[in-house]
Amino acid sequence: MRRIGLPCTAWLLAAVLAWTNLPTTWAAPPDESTASATPADRKIDDGPEAALERGLGLERGRNWAAAIETYRRALEHWPSRTDFSRRLRLCELHFKLVRRYHDASFRGVLLKLPREQSIELYSEVLERIQNFYVDPVPLEPLIRHGLDNLEVALRDPSFLQVNAATATPERVEWLRGQLRTMRAQLAVPDRNAAVEVALAASNLASQGLGLTATPVLLEFTCGACDALDDFTSYLTPDKLEDLYAMIDGNFVGLGVELKGVPNGLRLVGVIRGGPAWEAGLVSGDQIVKIAGQVVKGLSLDDAANRLQGTEGTSVDLEILKRDASIQSLRLVRRHVDVESVTRAKIVDEAEGVGYIQLSGFQKSSAEEIDQAVSGLQNLGMRTLVLDLRGNPGGLLNVAVDIADRFIEDGVIVSTRGRAAGQSQMFKADGRARWRMPVYVLVDHDSASASEILAGALQDHHRATIVGERTYGKGSVQSIFSLRSAPAGLKLTTAKFYSPRDRAYSEQGVTPDMPIKTRVAAKPVAGEKDAEKEAVDESLIGDPKYDVVLAAALRASKNRDPEVR
């Protein structure tokens, strides 16, 4: 399914989505920059200098994801250490650069743009930022970040190999020095001046290394986006297509969600009805070979790219099962529909408690919830537990529609931004269809649309929120399909607020019943078991093991039957 050439559509999204005259809006999941479990997972109990040396060692090995995690953990312990924050930023620049150059659509489409088109692309991105970003932004920080991107790229083999394979270290160092001088003398009164700075850097790169303009201008384009916030990003053709597939809830592939681990790719999700699910793969299995090639040593993007392909083609995999056995199988790529309701069942027949797990907010989610609730009511459900743990968000209008099913009247969420159509208030339509008691389970990974739904139900006293404080992603992203290239821009255009005008950004939703979100390794006997080690996600939704669900069930039994 390819949707690169679509014009801007009429959606607004914050991990969710609302109707506006802007393009599609998407609220990104918490953070995509960390990959696998690494030595960074070690406890930081041996002092800041040892943590710094660990991070530097990971940098020397070009293990940027692990270095990022090391420095983030170190900053949590020693927030005043500016050396950690400097190293963290440098590693993030390297990480994003490597990901760009492992993106086939970046290399095959964007790097091949003619000079004039890459200039137009950079100017268009700056224009979108100036006109639509949630806060006014001076241009100088955007240009400075572009210069930093380019200076880091000149130290990175993946950039030099593609764009300047014959460059000598002396000429590279000369160019880096020129860029530092340019950075120190920066003055950018308007967008035309910003483009002139980028072109001046391009001319220096051509003079010093024979670099063409396009790779230089692309670093400035990506740098402008990265300078804004964690959720704004430049979307390559493939990334834009992936995002539309997430919004639609369908794609062509194997039906797996992956995380990089030292020996391969670990399955963290298997989509019901997909090829992997039909082959019996489960969360916790690891892919160790793809088409006969060992996965260990490949980047997450490289390995994932080898799994992708057109509908009807096959791929041979070697799987390390959770029981340590090895399984070889061939999977055929095909169309996969992603279900956002991943579990729906009665968890307490005597009390009539139903349980629904919602993994995201996509176009079909409200209809899926309707079907799940109706089915559970037919089985005798009188109380609903809605599980939003690990739910990163999705479409704003879908979150509003689902909240509207529970809330009789009043505000559900409001958004505020600079551009026209970004400041809106969404209200219940006065026809709430579900009046049963509700318990909503959340954790630190419940973000954006999840927070809108949980916060609205909490502010209207329509549900009891159980678990951990949520992520705190309170911003709206709009998706722009760019006119100057087959690419996109995911731009923060507004912030959203609860019915009681609480800002979600960096605050999240605080539970009514705070409980550490764990799945216990042994059956739940009481709150003390909340500290047991986690097993696997298949135990989520089982009140014998799921501490948070067990707490919600206890609360439902002690509840005043007259309270709704």
555 sits in which H/E element: helix 547-557
Beta bridge mates, 355? 345, 385
Q: Would you state the structure tokens that stand for residue 243, as one six-digit string?
A: 């995002």
Confidence at 178, pLDDT banded by 50, 70, 90 = very high
CA-wise closest residue to 424 among 435, 412, 415, 437? 415
CA distance linking residue 60 with residue 154, whole number of Å: 16
- 97, 343, 427, 479 from 102: Cα distances, Å: 9, 35, 44, 23
Could you report the per-residue pLDDT of 7-66, keeping only the tens digit for each? 222 223 333 332 233 344 433 333 333 333 334 444 556 789 999 999 999 999 888 888
What is the identity of the amino acid at 59? Answer: E
Kindly list the catalytic residues.
Answer: 448, 459, 473
Beta bridge mates, 332? 314
548 sits in which H/E element: helix 547-557
Higher pLDDT, 5 or 532: 532
pTM of the model: 0.78
Confidence at 93, pLDDT banded by 50, 70, 90 = very high
pLDDT recorded at residue 7: 26
Supply the DSSP symbol for 394.
B
Asked if residue 125 lies in contact with residue 234, where contact means CB atoms within 8 angstroms, the answer is: yes
CA angle at 25 for the pair 134 and 469, rounded to the nearest 5°: 75
Residue 4 has pLDDT above 50, yes or no: no
CA distance linking residue 553 with residue 548, whole number of Å: 9
Could you report the per-residue pLDDT of 282-339, keeping only the tens digit for each? 888 889 899 988 888 777 777 777 888 888 899 999 998 888 899 999 999 888 877 8
Beta bridge mates, 497? 414, 503
For the chain, the residue count is 564
Transcribe 309-322 into DSSP letters. --TT-EEEEEEE-T
pLDDT recorded at residue 538: 61
CA distance linking residue 269 with residue 282, whole number of Å: 7
First-to-last C-alpha distance (Å) of the chain: 45
Helices of type H across 299-363: 300-307
Could you report the per-residue pLDDT of 149-163, keeping only the tens digit for each? 999 999 998 899 999
CA distance linking residue 72 with residue 170, whole number of Å: 34
- 49, 67, 515 from 53: Cα distances, Å: 6, 10, 36
Could you report the per-residue pLDDT of 240-260, keeping only the tens digit for each? 888 887 777 667 788 887 777
Residue 353 phi/psi, 5-degree rounding, is -100, 120
Name residue, tokens 């950039």: 159
Residue 392 has pLDDT above 70, yes or no: yes
